[in-house]
């Protein structure tokens, strides 16, 4: 009798985190809509969070979970600032893509 | 009274400022009177200070008046301080006195000049600078005056700057003087590093106390001598003085005969303790340079035809005499000759100015002659000046020249012979000048065709304002010798007066053969002077001998030529090369670096595309690269 018990190990979570991180990176690189890029960055951040939590549990080290809180707090603040900037830019210009904001080119 | 010595330089400065602000409004001749009164008052203050000092004991005749702290920088503490001691007061007396007379004279001479008030502004500024030079308590204040007289000399030589030769002469004087200034500055740095002070008191004290090494003292003395060579027109830097005759004649009399050119002699006398402890060869160098200059300039003066050029070379020659005295340790004699020379050379220059004025700006002696009759006062006073410079007793120049020759004989007989030959030549060329200008046939209109529009020249006597200074100076030229008569120790007034400043004097030649037979030397000097005059008379007045005036003497042994050749040829080429190196290589390196960075930046700047996603891509590449490094490090290494 083969019992098919799937016991999730840390590796699963790490793989998942890697996949999420890659999707986020890919999204940032290919999408031009600032909002979507922003969401992709959040995705990357949370992939990292997942890594932290998985490893904290695996290594039995509370520090990993503590850092996650820091990341979440910083991410929340970042969302406020980032969204604020994006909204104020959107108000002035319609149909905006990230490539339109190239005023700082050398 | 002694604490009011700052009035002495202040008054001419005030005159200069007044003329600067109101000069145009005051105009001709009032601005001249302002300047004259300023200098005259300064003279009166000096006289008062002199009498006050006369009442003091000899040791107490030194007063330092600190006006303010000038440079308080760490260990460099320089006060803006004036020093009243026998030397500075004697200098101030004859500077302000003669300046006043020359200012007065200039009112007449410069009458009608478009820049009348500016002339007096410069003259007053010059007197101020000269007084700072002699009354400064430290080398820096003296240097301030030193540069001041240099600048004023430049302004005044090129006063008629629309004339190219005047502008060039001014530049020449300035540049030549700068070479000398380099020596003074270096001496100043050296004195500060060796003694830690620039004050004359401290430096001379250190020299007395033996705290100054002989080698340092020699270096300081020689560097100061370089400066003195520039200011006092000694070989090889004398070049500027004959050209300085481009300036108005009062300037030649004031700056290039009586005062500024004596500042080198003054400085060497002021620092005499330093010179005293330097190596033996240092004074010898000074004496030899002085003697060479004296002889050289005298030979050149023999063949000059410009009335002022003769006097200019004669000045160079007499300054050589003073340095001969300095080098022989005869500081008192040098100062004595400086003063008598100031009297009779100012007189001669002003006399020549009077002649030029009367001849409508004709300076060629070949076109003069017989002026004695039309210009009796000028002629008479000029003759007194001639007798004084030729060394005929009892005129002033005789006593001072004899005093120098006495010391020179005691020190170095070879140089004594040079001195005698120079004295002979001096008598000779001055007689030649007097004969050419005041005696013989009238040659004013020999070339009247050349004058064209000017037509006939009718010489006339100068106005009274110009004649009074001539008369005063001629009295001084007669009586000036009374300052220091050789007959008895009690008659050495100048020596007693200067005793606190100049310690090494007659005592150390007292036992020499020369001193014991000084009357014999006196006689030799008279014979030499009289024979010079007689030879000249037989050549120029009686025409018994052929006139010998080689072309090479007229051109000053081609020294000026040679210098111009060197500076204008290889010198200019060298400077052009340096300029080329600066423009192409030095600037090339600097500009090349800039250009390189600009072009690199130009290609690198494209990376800054402004596209956020490009940056993100680059960041992720970077992240991957770092990750790869960490992962592969273990495998590869």
The beta-carbon neighbor of A101 closest among B608, B612, B620 is B612
CA distance B595 to A51: 50
Burial (0-12, 13-18, 19+ Cβ within 10 Å), B548: exposed
Question: What single string gives the DSSP state of each residue in B326-367?
Answer: HHTT-HHHHHHHHHHHHHHHHHHHHHHHHHHHHTTS--BGGG
User: What stretch of H or E contains B77?
Assistant: strand B76-84
Tell which residue, B30, B46, B5, has the closest CA to residue B116.
Answer: B30
Nearest residue in chain B measured CA to CA from A41: B616
CA atoms within 13 A on the CB side of B51: 5
- What is the per-residue burial (b if ≥16 Cβ within 10 Å, else e) of B506-544? beebeeeebbeebeebbebbeebbbebbebbbebbeeee
Minimal CA separation from B598 to chain A, in Å? 13
CA distance B133 to B92: 10
Bridge partners of residue B78, in order along the sequence? B71
Minimal CA separation from B630 to chain A, in Å? 17
pLDDT of residue B504: 57
Instruction: Provide, as residue numbers in chain A, all residues whose Cβ is less than 8 Å from the Cβ of B605.
Output: 106
Instruction: Report whether pLDDT(B228) > 80.
Output: yes
The beta-carbon neighbor of B610 closest among A29, A37, A103 is A103
Averaged pLDDT for residues A76-92: 88
**Model pLDDT for residues A35-53, shown as the tens digit of each residue:** 888 899 999 999 999 999 9
Nearest residue in chain A measured CA to CA from B613: A29
Minimal CA separation from B601 to chain A, in Å? 10
Nearest residue in chain A measured CA to CA from B605: A106
CA distance B186 to B271: 15
Nearest residue in chain B measured CA to CA from A104: B610
CA distance B506 to B491: 13
Minimal CA separation from B568 to chain A, in Å? 53
Inter-chain CB proximity A98 and B605 less than 8 Å: no
Contact between B301 and B317 under an 8 Å Cβ cutoff? The reply is: yes
Burial (0-12, 13-18, 19+ Cβ within 10 Å), B324: buried
Instruction: Provide, as residue numbers in chain B, all residues whose Cβ is less than 8 Å from the Cβ of A32.
Output: 613
pLDDT of residue B135: 92
Instruction: Provide, as residue numbers in chain B, all residues whose Cβ is less than 8 Å from the Cβ of A98.
Output: 611-613
Residue ranges of domains in chain B? 329-554, 563-636
CA distance B245 to A85: 82
Inter-chain CB proximity A105 and B608 less than 8 Å: yes
Averaged pLDDT for residues A15-40: 91
Lowest-confidence segment of A40-49, A68-77, B18-27, B583-592 by average pLDDT: B18-27
Averaged pLDDT for residues B86-95: 90
Nearest residue in chain B measured CA to CA from A28: B613
Instruction: Report whether pLDDT(B565) > 90.
Output: no
Q: Three-class SS of residue B554?
A: helix
CA distance B28 to B79: 39
pLDDT of residue A2: 67
Alpha helices by DSSP H, A2-33: 10-30
Instruction: Provide, as residue numbers in chain B, all residues whose Cβ is less than 8 Å from the Cβ of A106.
Output: 605-610
Residue B11: which residues within 8 A CB-CB, separation 6 or more?
A: B38, B39, B41, B42, B45
Inter-chain CB proximity A106 and B608 less than 8 Å: yes
pLDDT of residue B453: 47
Instruction: Provide, as residue numbers in chain B, all residues whose Cβ is less than 8 Å from the Cβ of A101.
Output: 610, 612
pLDDT of residue B555: 78
Inter-chain CB proximity B611 and A32 less than 8 Å: no
Residue ranges of domains in chain A? 12-94
Minimal CA separation from B622 to chain A, in Å? 13
Position with higher pLDDT, A100 vs B35: B35
Contact between B330 and B505 under an 8 Å Cβ cutoff? The reply is: yes
Averaged pLDDT for residues B129-147: 92
Per-residue confidence at B454, pLDDT binned at 50, 70, 90? low
pLDDT of residue B522: 86
CA distance B154 to B177: 10
- What is the per-residue burial (b if ≥16 Cβ within 10 Å, else e) of B476-496? bbbebbebbebeeeeebebbe
Tokens of B407: 């010391």
Q: Which of A21, A25, A31, A44 to mutate to test the interface with B (most CBs of B within 10 A)?
A: A25
Contact between B214 and B180 under an 8 Å Cβ cutoff? The reply is: no
Minimal CA separation from A100 to chain B, in Å? 8
Inter-chain CB proximity A99 and B611 less than 8 Å: yes
**Model pLDDT for residues B406-450, shown as the tens digit of each residue:** 888 888 888 999 999 999 999 999 999 998 888 888 777 766 555
CA distance B424 to B57: 42
**Model pLDDT for residues B150-198, shown as the tens digit of each residue:** 999 999 998 988 888 888 888 888 888 888 899 999 999 999 998 888 8
Domain A12-94 has CATH 1.10.3720.10: no
Which position has the token pair 């340092």?
B216
Contact between B486 and B518 under an 8 Å Cβ cutoff? The reply is: yes
Question: What single string gives the DSSP state of each residue in B311-325?
Answer: HHHHHHHHHHHHHHH
Inter-chain CB proximity A102 and B611 less than 8 Å: yes
DSSP structure class, residue B461: P
CA atoms within 13 A on the CB side of A45: 18
Residues of B at the A interface, defined by Cβ within 8 angstroms: 605-613, 616-617, 620
Angle between the B307-327 and B263-270 helix axes, to the nearest 10 degrees? 10
Instruction: Report whether pLDDT(A93) > 90.
Output: no
* Omega within 30 of 0 (cis) for the link into B394: yes
Tell which residue, B265, B283, B263, B262, has the closest CA to residue B274.
Answer: B283
**Model pLDDT for residues B572-581, shown as the tens digit of each residue:** 899 999 999 9
Inter-chain CB proximity A101 and B606 less than 8 Å: no
Tell which residue, B270, B263, B260, B269, has the closest CA to residue B137.
Answer: B270
DSSP structure class, residue B306: B
Minimal CA separation from B627 to chain A, in Å? 14
Instruction: Provide, as residue numbers in chain A, all residues whose Cβ is less than 8 Å from the Cβ of B610.
Output: 101-106
| Percent share of chain B, pLDDT over 90 | 34
pLDDT of residue B598: 93
Inter-chain CB proximity A98 and B612 less than 8 Å: yes
**Model pLDDT for residues B245-280, shown as the tens digit of each residue:** 888 999 888 888 888 888 999 999 998 888 888 888
Q: Compute the mean pLDDT over every residue in chain B, rounded to the nearest whole number.
A: 87
Inter-chain CB proximity A98 and B611 less than 8 Å: yes
Q: What is the pTM of this model?
A: 0.78
Question: Count of CB atoms within 10 A of residue B582's CB?
Answer: 11
The beta-carbon neighbor of B609 closest among A32, A37, A105 is A105
Residue B261: which residues within 8 A CB-CB, separation 6 or more?
A: B231, B232, B233, B241, B255, B315, B319
Burial (0-12, 13-18, 19+ Cβ within 10 Å), B380: middle
Return the number of CB contacts < 8 Å for A and B.
35
Per-residue confidence at A100, pLDDT binned at 50, 70, 90? confident
Minimal CA separation from A5 to chain B, in Å? 33
CA distance B361 to B2: 45
**Model pLDDT for residues B581-636, shown as the tens digit of each residue:** 999 999 999 999 999 999 999 888 888 888 888 888 889 999 999 999 998 987 87
Q: Which of B611, B619, B621 to mutate to test the interface with A (most CBs of A within 10 A)?
A: B611
Contact between A22 and B627 under an 8 Å Cβ cutoff? The reply is: no
Nearest residue in chain B measured CA to CA from A21: B620
Contact between B240 and B176 under an 8 Å Cβ cutoff? The reply is: yes
Determine how β-strand B76-84 pairs with β-strand B63-73: antiparallel
Nearest residue in chain A measured CA to CA from B617: A29
Instruction: Provide, as residue numbers in chain A, all residues whose Cβ is less than 8 Å from the Cβ of B607.
Output: 106
Contact between B227 and B180 under an 8 Å Cβ cutoff? The reply is: yes
Minimal CA separation from B608 to chain A, in Å? 5
* Omega within 30 of 0 (cis) for the link into B73: no
Contact between B289 and B323 under an 8 Å Cβ cutoff? The reply is: yes
**CA B503 remoteness from chain centre:** 25
Inter-chain CB proximity A106 and B606 less than 8 Å: yes
Instruction: Report whether pLDDT(A6) > 90.
Output: no
């Amino acid at each position: 009798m083969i019992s098919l018990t799937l016991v999730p190990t840390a590796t699963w979570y790490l793989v998942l985190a890697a996949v999420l991180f890659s999707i986020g990176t890919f999204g940032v690189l290919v999408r031009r809509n600032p909002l979507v890029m922003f969401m992709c960055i959040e995705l990357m951040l949370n992939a990292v969070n997942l890594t932290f939590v998985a490893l904290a549990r695996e290594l039995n080290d509370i520090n990993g979970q503590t850092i996650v809180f820091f990341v979440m707090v910083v991410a929340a603040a970042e969302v406020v600032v980032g969204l604020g900037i994006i909204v104020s830019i959107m108000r002035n210009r319609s149909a905006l893509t990230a490539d339109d904001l190239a005023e700082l080119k050398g | 009274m002694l604490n009011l010595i700052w009035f002495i330089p202040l008054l001419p400065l005030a005159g200069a400022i007044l003329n600067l602000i109101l000069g145009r409004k005051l105009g001709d001749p009032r601005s001249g009177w302002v300047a004259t009164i300023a200098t005259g008052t300064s003279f009166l203050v000096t006289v008062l200070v002199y009498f006050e000092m006369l009442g003091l004991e000899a040791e107490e005749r030194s007063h330092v008046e600190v006006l303010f702290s000038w440079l308080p920088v760490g260990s460099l503490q320089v006060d803006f301080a004036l020093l009243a001691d026998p030397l500075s007061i004697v200098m101030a007396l004859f500077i302000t006195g003669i300046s006043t007379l020359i200012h007065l004279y200039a009112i007449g001479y410069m009458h009608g000049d478009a820049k009348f008030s500016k002339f007096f502004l410069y003259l007053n500024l010059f007197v101020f600078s000269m007084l700072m030079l002699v009354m400064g308590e430290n080398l820096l204040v003296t240097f301030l005056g030193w540069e001041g007289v240099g600048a004023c000399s430049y302004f005044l030589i090129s006063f008629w700057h629309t004339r190219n030769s005047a502008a060039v002469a001014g530049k020449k004087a300035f540049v030549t003087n700068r070479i000398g200034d380099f020596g003074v500055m270096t001496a100043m740095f050296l004195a500060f590093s060796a003694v830690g002070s620039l004050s004359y008191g401290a430096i001379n004290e250190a020299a007395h106390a033996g705290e100054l090494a002989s080698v340092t003292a020699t270096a300081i003395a020689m560097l100061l001598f370089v400066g003195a060579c520039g200011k006092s027109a000694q070989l090889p830097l004398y070049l500027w003085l004959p050209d300085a005759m481009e300036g108005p004649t009062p300037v030649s009399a004031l700056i290039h005969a009586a005062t500024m050119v004596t500042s080198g002699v003054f400085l060497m006398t002021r620092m005499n303790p330093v010179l005293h402890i330097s190596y033996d060869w240092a004074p010898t160098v000074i004496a030899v340079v002085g003697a060479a200059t004296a002889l050289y300039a005298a030979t050149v003066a023999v063949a000059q035809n410009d009335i002022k050029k003769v006097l200019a070379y004669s000045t160079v020659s007499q300054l050589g005499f003073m340095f001969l005295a300095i080098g022989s340790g005869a500081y008192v004699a040098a100062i004595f000759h400086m003063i008598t020379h100031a009297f009779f050379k100012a007189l001669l220059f002003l006399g020549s100015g009077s002649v030029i004025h009367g001849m409508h700006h004709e300076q060629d002696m070949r076109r003069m002659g017989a002026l004695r009759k039309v210009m009796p006062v000028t002629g008479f006073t000029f003759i007194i000046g001639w007798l004084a410079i030729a060394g005929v007793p009892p005129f002033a120049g005789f006593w001072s020249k004899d005093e120098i020759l006495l010391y020179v004989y005691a020190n170095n007989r070879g140089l004594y012979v040079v001195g005698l030959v120079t004295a002979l030549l001096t008598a000779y060329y001055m007689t030649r000048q007097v004969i050419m200008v005041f005696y013989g046939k009238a040659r004013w209109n020999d070339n009247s065709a050349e004058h064209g529009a000017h037509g006939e020249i009718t010489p006339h006597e100068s106005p009274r304002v110009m004649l009074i200074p001539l008369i005063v100076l001629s009295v001084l030229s007669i009586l000036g010798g009374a300052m220091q008569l050789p007959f008895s120790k009690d008659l050495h007034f100048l020596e007693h007066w200067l005793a606190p400043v100049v310690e090494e004097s007659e005592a150390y030649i007292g036992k020499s053969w020369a001193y014991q037979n000084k009357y014999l030397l006196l006689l030799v000097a008279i014979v030499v002077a009289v024979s010079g005059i007689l030879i000249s008379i037989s050549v120029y007045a009686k025409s018994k001998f052929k006139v010998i005036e080689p072309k090479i003497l007229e051109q000053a042994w081609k020294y000026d030529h040679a210098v111009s050749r060197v500076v204008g040829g290889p010198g200019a080429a060298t400077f052009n090369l340096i300029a080329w190196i600066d423009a192409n290589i030095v600037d090339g390196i600097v500009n090349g670096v800039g250009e390189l960075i600009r072009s690199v930046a130009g290609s690198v700047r494209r990376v800054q595309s402004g596209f956020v996603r490009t940056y993100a891509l680059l960041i992720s590449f970077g992240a991957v690269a770092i990750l790869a490094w960490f992962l592969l490090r273990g495998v590869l290494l």
